[in-house]
Amino acid sequence: MGLRSHLRIGLAVLLVALLAAVPVLAAEVQTGQSIRSTEGVVTAAHPLAAQAGAEILAKGGNAVDAAIATAYALAVVEPYASNLGGEGYMVISLTDGTETAIDYRSRAPLHVHVHKPAEIGWPPHGIYTTMVPGMVKGTEKALLQYGTMTLAEVLEPAIRLAEGGFEVTPLLAQQIANAYDSFLMTYPEAGRVFLDDGLVPEAGTIMRNPDLARALRLIAEHGSDVFYHGEIAEAIEQATDGWIDRESLAAYEAIERDVVRGSYRGYEIISAPPIVAGVRVIETLNILENFDLSAYGSINHPMVAHIIAEALKLSGADYNAYVWDPNFFRVPVEGLVSKQYARQRAALISLERAQDFSAGDPFALLPEIDGLSAADPYESPSTTHISVLDKDGNAVSLTQTISSFWGSRIVVPGYGFILSNHFRQFPGFDASDPYRPDYAAPLKSTRTVLSPTIMKKDGRVRLVVGTPGAGRIPQSTVQTIVSLIDFGMDVESAIRAPKLHVSGLTLDLEGGFPDEAVAALEALGHDVRLREPLDLYFGGLNVVMVEDDGTMVGVGSFRRSGGASAPVSEEAAVVH
């Protein structure tokens, strides 16, 4: 039996004990892997984080309040995937008609320039991989503009978890084990916070982080000023030897942006705009709309997999070529999400063979814009996702990250949080191309594939979806949407359905595809690589869907230690 199988069994066994170990809640909620409710649902990569968000809903908060509470709770119970020193993107849909996105991506310090990566080398983590974090500023901005509670109220569950402690899951224990040598030898502050007297904590033991609780209390009392201007800013500067200096922290601002919009088979799509990958999700679905996928009968049919893979290659080529930091470049969003452009791209797909594709020309639809050259994006292997829908129909899809698992591994002393290692996603300087659009620059963000998405029909939210998983993020998101809409699958089945990931002619298939489908895909020219069933490689989808009668169904990830939670009511019911 493989490690992932042991982890899945261990997570199932520990789920009840894990939930029982949380300190007494301030409001009554129900939590499980799947849940049905009419009172609002939160899904997240850890059941205690989903429970924190549901507690906020039960106390009268809206979806924005709950999403932020969940995000901070994840910084406590899932510290290897997101943290106060990281970043994220949030898509918001409110019943008053508001549809907006909050960009709180991390940004390069003010002093960097295109030569800097070559000067410092290419470390996988450490001081020179850190960037100015955006989580605290971005969540505060969303709360002040669209929430109903105070920062102190939404931070309370995370503070309680950090102080009172929580049970270490098998997944957390494994991630600590993976980083053990570096925590012990190179990053002693991380070792002090996350090791148990110098050892990897066993699953089921209680982990506390009083330093993080202190940081959260300071933020609850003073807001983001203490993080970007006050004592925490000073500590970040000291922890990074001045690489992230106080001037850079003071200059950081989260940005509210227009969502990107599309449609798919009668459903409206709103997703996150560049520099992240909502445009890729929409372009892929636009291409797929030119094919009658449902006629093949199953999401596992080899021709469905082939068409999806080819559509993803096309949108990936365009994304790599044209999506950059919008603070520095004009991105041809209108062209990339155009149905007309998608028809042109769909016409390139052969039903008889797999192909490689180059970027198209969305600028042809926007003649006043100059094009940009293509480049391959770095794929970060970490991240986490939250989906929230409240009883009134307000929705939040939120994805956040510290890049690699454990980020830079720099823990800010006395405050217990990790800084991201996003700076390593900038390319090394190439003198032959001194104007690449992905070079480092002051307050510039790296490109990433976060794809938080909301879908609506007849003006009402029907789906809140997203996932971690590096380059698999938009790919798994698209496949889940196709499973739900084209094949009418229920949420749990759509999440469990085996996923694929395509890169060039290489096609990774998750365990569960029939042998004859694998053979057919190989015959089409795909270089197939087989992976385990429910493989963490394909992300950790956390989804909320609304059934025709208005019942909300939330499902936490089966590939990660996910959970769903809802306020207790007569209608709420834990499925399992």
Q: Which residues are catalytic?
A: 383
Backbone angles phi and psi of 502, in degrees to 5: -115, 140
Give the alpha-carbon dihedral of 317, 320, 322, 326, to 10 degrees: 150
List, in sequence order, the alpha helices (H) in 364-458. none
**To 5 degrees, how large is the angle CA 50–CA 576–CA 61?**
30
Contact 560, 10 (CB under 8 A): no
Report in angstroms the alpha-carbon separations of 321 from 142, 211, 346.
31, 43, 18
- Please choose, from the candidates 54, 55, 48, the residue with its C-alpha nearest in 3D space to the C-alpha of residue 74: 48
* Amino acid sitting at position 222: H
Question: Are the C-beta atoms of residues 429 and 439 closer than 8 Å to each other?
Answer: yes
Phi and psi, residue 407, nearest 5°:
50, -130
Separation between Cα atoms, residue 52 and residue 67, nearest integer Å:
9
Give per-residue burial for 164-203: e unless 16+ CB within 10 Å, then b.
ebbbbbbbbbbbbeebbebbeeebebbbebbbeeeebbeb
Strand pairing partners for 455? 269, 463
The CA distance from 339 to 321, in Å, is 19
